[in-house]
Chain A
C-alpha cells in the first residue's frame, strides 16, 4: 500500500521561503509523477506543478513559475516543494500526490502559515 508522508506544519515570515517534503513508502517513484497541489483556507484545489523522477522533468503552473521548485530524490523516494518570496496569500495546506494523470494517492497535507 502506497503512503505519502509529508513534513510538518510551518510558520513563515513574509519574504522568506519554505520547503516541504513528501516521502513515499510502499512503492517507488518509477513510472509516476509527483504533483503538488495547494488549498487556501476555505478555497478550492490549485495545481502548482509536478516532477517526473524517471525523466528528471518538471512542469509548473504559470502563476508559480520562477517562485516554486519541485524536486525528487530517487534514492530516498522523497519529493520536495520549495516556494520562495512567501506572502500572506500563500497561507494554505500543501499536498503532494502520486500522479497517473489523475491523483490516486495523496499525502496528509502540510499547513504553511505566512504571517508577520
Chain B
C-alpha cells in the first residue's frame, strides 16, 4: 500500500499569510494527487487534482505543485474562510489519504 505523509500536522497562521503544506508518498505516484479542504461537520471539498489542476470554482489563491513523491499545496494569501483541515490523496494505486493538516489561527 502507498503511504501518504503530510506535514505539518497543525499550522498556526494569520490572515494574509502564505501557507505551504507538504505531502510525501512512500513510492512514486506520478501526478495522481488531489488536495481537499474539510470544515467541521462537512464533507471534504476538492481543491486541486492531478497535483496542480485547480478544480472549477476554487479561488486562485490555492495552488498545487510536485510530482513523483513530493507535493505541496500553497495558499498565497490566507483568508478567514481558509481555516480548515487539508488532506492530500493519492489515486495512483487505489486511494490513500494523508493524515491531515489543520490550519488554525
User: B1 at the A/B interface (Cβ < 8 Å)?
Assistant: yes
Highest count of chain A CB atoms <10 Å: which of B55, B89, B95, B100? B95
Q: How many A-B residue pairs have CB under 8 A?
A: 51
Contact of A47 among B36, B38, B97, B99 (CB under 8 A): B97
Highest count of chain B CB atoms <10 Å: which of A95, A104, A108? A104
Given contacts A44-B87, A62-B1, A108-B43, contact A102 B94 (CB under 8 A): no
User: B49 at the A/B interface (Cβ < 8 Å)?
Assistant: yes
List residues of chain A with CB within 8 A of the CB of B44.
45, 95, 103, 106
Identify which of residues 82-112 in chain A touch chain B, using a CB-to-CB cut-off of 8 Å: 95, 97, 100-104, 106-109
Q: How far is the CB of A1 from chain B (nearest CB, A)?
A: 12
List residues of chain A with CB within 8 A of the CB of B100.
44-45
List residues of chain B with CB within 8 A of the CB of A35.
95
Q: How many positions in chain B have a CB within 8 Å of any CB in the partner chain?
A: 21
Structural contact, B34 and A103, CB atoms closer than 8 A: yes
Q: How many positions in chain A have a CB within 8 Å of any CB in the partner chain?
A: 21
Chain B interface (Cβ within 8 Å of chain A)? 1, 32, 34, 36, 38, 43-46, 49, 55, 87, 89, 91, 94-100
Q: A45-B44, A47-B94, A100-B49 are in contact. List 12 more A-B contacts (CB 8 A).
A: A35-B95, A44-B97, A44-B98, A45-B97, A47-B96, A50-B95, A59-B94, A95-B44, A101-B91, A102-B49, A103-B34, A108-B43
